[in-house]
């Protein structure tokens, strides 16, 4: 994941993150997703160099 420019985020005792986990809207997860999308869009535009 490091070669891909990915980050590791420890979710603590949340367990497996899915619809059955009971997280509801989970704002922190939505922000992680938004950051991931910004990064992938920057790569697609060529603004970030891929490894």
Two structure tokens written together for 15: 């367990």
Quote the mean pLDDT of the chain: 78
- Whether the pTM exceeds 0.85: the reply is no
Taking alpha carbons only, the member of 9, 44, 36 closest to residue 17 is: 9
Taking alpha carbons only, the member of 7, 29, 2, 4 closest to residue 16 is: 29
Tell me: the pLDDT tens digits for 3-27? 666 778 887 787 777 778 788 888 8
């Amino acid at each position: 994941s490091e070669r891909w420019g990915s980050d590791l985020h420890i979710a603590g005792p949340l367990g497996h993150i899915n619809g059955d986990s009971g997280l509801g809207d989970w704002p922190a997860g939505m922000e992680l997703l938004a950051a991931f999308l910004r990064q992938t869009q920057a790569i697609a535009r060529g603004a970030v160099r891929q490894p």
